[in-house]
Chains A and B, each alone.
Chain A
Amino acid sequence: MRFFSKFGQYLLMLKGMFTRPENPKMYWKEFMHQCVEIGIGSLPIVVIISLFLGAVTTVQTAYQLVSPLVPSSTIGQVVRDSMILELSPTVVSIVLAGVVGSKIASELGNMRISEQIDALEIMGINTKAYLVLPKIVAALLMIPCLIALSAFLGIWGGRTAADMSNIVAADIFDIGLRTNFSPFNVFFAMSKAYTFAFIVSSVPAYYGYYVTGGSLEIGRSSTTSVVVSCVLILIADYALAALLL
């Protein structure tokens, strides 16, 4: 029963975002601010994770490919598909659920507890539209870009690791990258990216926006939002794989 009540509240929050903005310029400013926070703010961690994901995938694939019948260019193919299909969208989104999600939940939670949201409401501003919508739209724009960048960096990291540790030469790796490339995989990765971006932004926004109590509750809601986002990402990951592949 509590689940349905919370889910209903979540849907009402999403519905409440769509009203005419009081001043479109201010909404645009807030949207750009969120793009910087979510996109540029998460860039260093995404770059580091992606490079190492690609490198580790290369080393581990090489370790498992012991048969002389399998050409070594297959490593490039495996790294490419692993990064595009699963590692970049899912792992990066789970990391972003922690980085971006906890920030959104604690920011809104703090604004709620310190009555800043009430102050905005009193001014006649639709706080759902002004505080939540720019975050979700910015996430929908920036997270797929981060995931695309992650896939590229992961493959590049894998190629560099393969070349540097003499697992496979860069030109052989490149042959693997070009073999049996399916553009549908990119479509699938982007479908996941948009779905996860929505989860990563809207779920923490809900937990932060409706927090009650004090500073302890802000921490709790932030943690809960990250846990729920991660679980929802994994469920959505499976659902999308079952539906689209």
Chain B
Amino acid sequence: MIEIQHLKKSFGDKTILNDVNLVMQTGKCNLIIGSSGSGKTVLLKCIVGLFTPDEGKVLYDGQSMTELTVQEKKGLRQQIGMLFQGSALFDSMTVEQNIKFILDMFSDLGHKEKMKKVNEVLARVNMEGANKKFPAEISGGMKKRVGIARSIVLNPKYLFCDEPNSGLDPQTSLVIDKLIQDITTEFNITTVVVTHDMNSVMEIGDNIFYMYQGHKQWEGSNKDIIHSKDEKLNEFIFASDFLQDAKQMRMMDAEQSKKEGNTAVRQ
């Protein structure tokens, strides 16, 4: 479980996060949603320790990230897996080397065992056979899958995903969403996903936190979100959900054809 207490972060005069309080549950996909500039990526970077918060605490199973020593922080980070927006794979390494790198750095396993582990995680994300390919030779969706494989190779307790569906087509997005959800339940880990993709929200959003102007505006599940009365949240959902537009257009078309049908009957 990850708990965020009274988190504040500013850059110069600009306050990005203002008194954010969240509880992210284990074994569930915790989604942070919000429009661009709402502070969700800064929040994620504060949680993983890439930014130091001005005030407040980030507790990993009760342990405060900010109060840990350098060595303790390193230990905690080895329990964290992260999928970056651009995948952040190492360009000069093959897919296999990208994953094996973490094992080389942190595990005492022999070469054969390491390779077995690498092949296992690649199979888990349906990327068998791509071992010798370089990141430049694979598609965006495949890069994301390799990114996921790399982040789960050390069996992390916490998985963070920053915009996992950005730049992907809806079908591939669905595959990535499903993968994240399956891994979360399979390994019983705390997953935090930053997204503004409403399809992901409806698909995997066990816990959803809607960020608005640096604070948490709304909290609930994917079942609650469509019935929410929160004005700001509704503005965000309807602005971003093209399905709502399509639905409205379909209704208008139906009304139009109904009218035309009535006119034809009168004539």
Residues of A within 8 A of B (CB): 19, 22-23, 25-26, 110, 114-116, 118-119, 121-126
Contact = CB atoms under 8 A, between A and B. Distances in A.
Interface size class, chain B:
20 to 34
- Closest 6 CB pairs between A and B? A124-B77, A115-B88, A119-B88, A124-B74, A115-B84, A122-B82
A125 B70 CA distance: 11
Given A22-B105, A123-B102, A125-B105, A118 B77 contact: no
B80 interface: yes
Contact of B86 (A22, A114, A121, A124): A114
Contacts of A126: 74
A118 B89 CA distance: 11
Nearest to A22: B105
B106 A118 contact: no
A123 B78 contact: yes
A125 B73 CA distance: 10
B50 interface: yes
Interface in B61-89: 70, 73-78, 80, 82, 84-86, 88-89
B105 A116 contact: no
B64 to A, nearest CB: 17
A127 to B, nearest CB: 11
A118 B50 CA distance: 7
29 contacts: A22-B74, A22-B106, A23-B104, A23-B105, A23-B106, A25-B104, A26-B104, A26-B105, A114-B86, A114-B88, A115-B84, A115-B85, A116-B89, A116-B90, A118-B84, A119-B82, A119-B88, A121-B50, A122-B48, A122-B49, A123-B77, A123-B106, A124-B73, A124-B75, A124-B76, A124-B77, A124-B106, A125-B105, A126-B74
Nearest to A124: B77
A191 B49 CA distance: 41
A74 B264 CA distance: 112
A114 B84 CA distance: 9
B119 to A, nearest CB: 20
B243 to A, nearest CB: 31
Contacts of B86: 114-115
B42 to A, nearest CB: 13
Interface string B83-114: 01110111100000000001011100000000
Contact of A116 (B88, B106, B160): B88
Contacts of B106: 22-23, 123-124
Nearest to B83: A119
A122 B77 contact: yes
Nearest to B81: A122
Given A23-B104, A115-B86, A124 B78 contact: yes
Nearest to A27: B105
Contacts of B85: 115
B88 A118 contact: yes
A217 to B, nearest CB: 16
A118 B49 CA distance: 10
A25 B49 CA distance: 26
| Residue of A26, A110, A114 with highest tally of chain B CB at under 10 A | A114
A219 to B, nearest CB: 17
Given A22-B74, A124-B75, A119 B84 contact: yes
A110 B74 CA distance: 24
Contacts of B73: 124
Interface in B36-66: 48-50
A231 to B, nearest CB: 30
| Residue of A22, A26, A115 with highest tally of chain B CB at under 10 A | A115
B215 to A, nearest CB: 25
B106 to A, nearest CB: 7
A132 to B, nearest CB: 16
A115 B73 CA distance: 20
